[in-house]
């Protein structure tokens, strides 16, 4: 969050409101690393196919050494294998996801140490997660670096995009 958009301090505590949360892109807290020309061409194809329409990510709160992010990934969103350079605790608010062989739903979660590669697949109604990180600023390093890998992601996005147009977030109070 920009300094002028920081939560207001009231009697030693700070209030934040999800309705006023900026997108993660607006805060610039997450930097994409490991880019090469093939990766850039591939992610461009995925974005042109509608990659950004399959998710909503907002910074709810951030301070040096801590951040809280809200993410809604629509049904079947092809989240690429990636890492972050910060420890992260994920809490599922609504919907469901598959992480490896595990099916997780509301109230479940998982912890990933920094630099652990992962991906998950949102369930049939999508998934809303809260992401607690040990850093305000962190990176995302997509492990798919080749154009064919991103073309496969773009094809999955194209196949899912018609369903996403009318999809609403699973019922929760996070961004109500």
Distance CA 36, CA 162 (A): 30
CA-wise closest residue to 122 among 162, 70, 75, 54:
75
- CA 108, CA 30: separation in Å to the nearest integer? 25
Separation CA 88–CA 109 (nearest Å): 11
As given in the structure block, the two tokens for residue 100 are 């490896």
One digit per residue, the tens of pLDDT, for the chain of length 176 reads 444 555 555 677 888 888 899 999 999 999 999 889 999 999 999 999 999 999 999 999 999 999 999 999 999 999 999 999 999 999 999 999 999 999 999 999 999 999 999 999 999 999 999 999 999 999 999 998 899 999 999 999 999 999 999 998 877 655 54
């Amino acid at each position: 969050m920009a300094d002028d958009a920081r939560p207001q301090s009231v009697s030693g505590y700070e209030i934040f409101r999800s309705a006023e949360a900026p997108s993660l892109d607006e805060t610039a807290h997450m930097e994409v690393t490991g880019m090469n020309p093939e990766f850039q061409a591939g992610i461009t194809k995925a974005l042109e196919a509608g990659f950004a329409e399959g998710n909503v990510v907002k910074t709810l709160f951030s301070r040096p050494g801590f951040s809280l992010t809200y993410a809604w990934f629509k049904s079947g969103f092809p989240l690429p294998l990636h890492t972050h350079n910060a420890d992260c605790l994920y809490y599922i608010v609504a919907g469901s996801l598959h992480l490896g062989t595990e099916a997780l739903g509301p109230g479940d979660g998982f912890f990933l140490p920094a630099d652990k590669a992962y991906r998950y697949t949102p369930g049939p109604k999508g998934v809303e997660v809260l992401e607690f990180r040990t850093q305000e600023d962190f990176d995302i390093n997509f492990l798919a670096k080749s154009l064919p890998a991103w073309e496969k992601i773009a094809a999955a996005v194209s196949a899912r995009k018609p369903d996403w147009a009318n999809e609403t977030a699973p019922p929760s109070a996070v961004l109500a």
